[in-house]
Amino acid sequence: MNEITRNLPIDEQLTLLKRGVVDLVSEADLKSSLERGTPLRVKLGADPTRPDLHLGHAVILRKMRQFQDLGHKVIMLIGDFTATIGDPTGKSKTRPPLTLEEARANADSYLEQCKLILRQESEVLEVRYNSEWLEKLGYKDIITLASRYTVARIMERDDFKKRFEGGVPISMHELLYPLTQGYDSVALEADVELGGTDQLFNNLVGRALQRDYGQAPQIVMTLPLLVGLDGTEKMSKSLDNYIGLTDAPHLMFAALMKVPDALMDNYFTLLTDLPREQIAALLAGHPAAAHEALARHVVNWAHPDADLDAALERYRSVAKGGIPENITAVSIPAAELNEAGQIAAAKLIALAGLEPSNGAARKLIQNRGLKIGGEVYGDAQGVLSIPPEGLVLQKGKDKFIRAVLEG
């Protein structure tokens, strides 16, 4: 255990846990629970609809880590069963469900990435799958569960209300989703449930169901959705405005150095443990220094062994139009060359892994998104020779590959 954190006075524990929180239902319940001194069961439910995590996911995972460091057990609940239903939260239409096999495959990747933040000791971490209890429910059980909540209350949820008023179809299974998620809290006897602000309604359903099942209602804590790098939407892979949790240290560092100034307070608050006074001082100073501090603190917890000075130097070099050292090399089989010893530029880009296909590679070239040897390359139908030292291919501002001939 982190004894320094664990032995904090209750008021300081409360301040730590409240940091960055939007909704807390209720603070009085949380304080009294902490005062009892017994480990709490802190639940985070996640439907593994995608296998990869980004810094937006890290916001809640870091809150879980704080609970762990205070001596509480966090429950990573993998919604392998609910992923087969499809959570409509925040969606304007039904979300396509996954198969159990797809959900569980995504979950393996999800859990592996969570190790970057969460402690793995069994006394502070429990991993569960809601198929354990949901698959066992019969039709009578489902009807009984549905009888514990009214249609009127379900329709209070903002996305259901908007869809209903807009004439967008709502399937019956979607109406059952909040009850299904709430039942997870009953099955786990959760003391606290964490979630994004978009999960407030579902988490409060769990609180109500626990009371109905004779349990103490869980404390609900929501955290804001981290704004994406474009400043207009939440961080999302589908919007391509994200920083991957497993991105290489230099890529993560460079992306954080380019966070818009208007988002810096948000990123500092949600992704670092710096005191508010220190954050305020950094934001009042030179923007470059603030960005460097943010990048150092975030990359340090995501990649504890990373050379932060090297990452900064690489960022500065690339920002000036330079080519960094120690570029990843990709071997190109000689069999891919034509009789003249050349290779189509689009094919080379795809083989190097910068794009998934020749077509995508040609589009990259047409959009002037490729540099070769530091110079923009614009011939989508062109062919290239690969010299003994290789060709340095650059996609965007900071993705470099050295293509070298095999053997």
Residue 173 CB neighbours (<10 A): 14
In a domain, residue 231? The reply is no
232 SS3 class: coil
Query: Do 254 and 296 form a contact (C-beta atoms < 8 A)?
Result: no
Give per-residue pLDDT as tens, 295-331.
Answer: 999 999 999 999 999 999 988 888 877 787 778 889 9
Whether residue 394 lies inside any domain: the answer is yes
Residue 60: pLDDT band (50, 70, 90) is very high
Q: Each residue of 342-378: b (16+ CB within 10 Å) or e?
A: ebbbbbbbbbbebbeebeebbebbeeebbbbeeeebe
| 365 lies in the same domain as 283 | no
Q: Cis omega before residue 317 (within 30°)?
A: no
Same domain, 273 and 159: no
Parent domain of 289: 249-319
Domain stops at, among 177, 205, 223: 223
279 with 174, same domain: the answer is no
Domain end: 301, 319, 337, which one? 319
**Quick check: is 236 in a domain?**
no
With a threshold of 0.85, does the pTM exceed it? no
Q: In this structure, which amino acid lies at residue 186?
A: V
Q: Are residues 350 and 219 in the same domain?
A: no
172-188 and 200-212 helices, crossing angle to 10°: 60
Among 287, 319, 351, residue at a domain's last position: 319
In whole angstroms, give the CA distance from residue 232 to residue 23.
22
Do 63 and 154 fall into the same domain? yes
Instruction: Domain count for the chain, please give it.
Output: 3
Whether residue 126 sits in one domain with residue 88: yes
The percent of residues above 70 in pLDDT, for the chain, comes to 94
155 part of a folded domain: yes
Q: Which two tokens stand for residue 322?
A: 């330079």
Comparing CA positions, the residue from 188, 174, 252 lying closest to residue 218 is: 188
Same structural domain, 258 and 207: no
Q: Quick check: is 59 in a domain?
A: yes
pLDDT of residue 350: 93
pLDDT range class, residue 87, cuts 50, 70, 90: low
Buried b (16+ CB within 10 A) or exposed e, 180-193: bbbbbbbebebbbb
- Lowest average pLDDT, out of 75-89, 254-268, 356-370, goes to 75-89
* 235 within a domain of the structure (yes/no): no
- Token readout for 378 is 């614009």
Query: Which CATH number does the domain housing residue 99 bear?
Result: 3.40.50.620
In a domain, 288, yes or no: yes
Residues 6+ apart with CB under 8 A from 54: 235, 236, 237, 242, 243, 244, 245
State whether 23 and 154 are in the same domain.
yes
The DSSP code sequence of 263-291 is GHHHHHHHH----HHHHHHHHHS-HHHHH
Does residue 209 fall inside a structural domain? yes
